[in-house]
């Protein structure tokens, strides 16, 4: 499935797959999207994995590694957190990542790395 997904992306979007070299020659920042408990922590929400998932664990580990590297270089780290108001449904998804719940919190704190 992963190779099919990558192929679909390559067919539709400009897509470069390769190594990332972090040097001071370019203005660089990183955007992390939805690395929250409700999507990444086993059984921590309606859309969280039901059992350990190596692909999710690897993604979280790589996100932490990159956030630390960017922070050490004092480059911007911007994180989107999925959070929803309890009274506003988001069909077709079940209720998830309600504001103020642990489900909508970062999987790891990237503040003060």
71-77 CB contacts, 8 Å cutoff, 24+ apart: 71/110, 71/113, 72/113, 73/22, 73/24, 73/28, 75/28, 75/29, 75/30, 76/29, 76/30, 77/29, 77/30, 77/32, 77/110
Per-residue model confidence (pLDDT) at position 75: 87
Distance (Å, whole) CA 20 – CA 4: 23
For residue 93, give the 3-state DSSP assignment: strand
pLDDT tens-place string over residues 6-64:
778 778 877 667 776 767 677 788 999 989 999 999 999 899 999 999 999 999 999 99
Per-residue model confidence (pLDDT) at position 82: 86
Rounded average pLDDT over 62-86:
89
What pTM was estimated for this model as a whole? 0.71
Distance (Å, whole) CA 98 – CA 54: 26
Domains in the chain: boundaries: 21-104
Per-residue model confidence (pLDDT) at position 27: 72
């Amino acid at each position: 499935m992963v190779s099919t997904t990558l192929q679909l992306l390559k067919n539709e979007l400009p897509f470069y797959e390769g190594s990332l070299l972090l040097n001071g020659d370019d203005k660089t920042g990183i955007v992390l999207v939805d690395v929250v408990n409700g999507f990444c922590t086993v059984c921590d929400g309606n859309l969280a994995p039901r059992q350990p998932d190596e692909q999710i664990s690897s993604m979280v580990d790589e996100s932490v590694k990159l956030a630390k590297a960017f922070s050490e270089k004092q480059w911007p780290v911007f994180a989107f957190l999925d959070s929803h108001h309890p009274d506003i449904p988001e069909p077709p998804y079940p209720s998830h990542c309600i504001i103020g719940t642990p489900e909508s919190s970062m999987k790891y704190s990237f503040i003060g790395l």
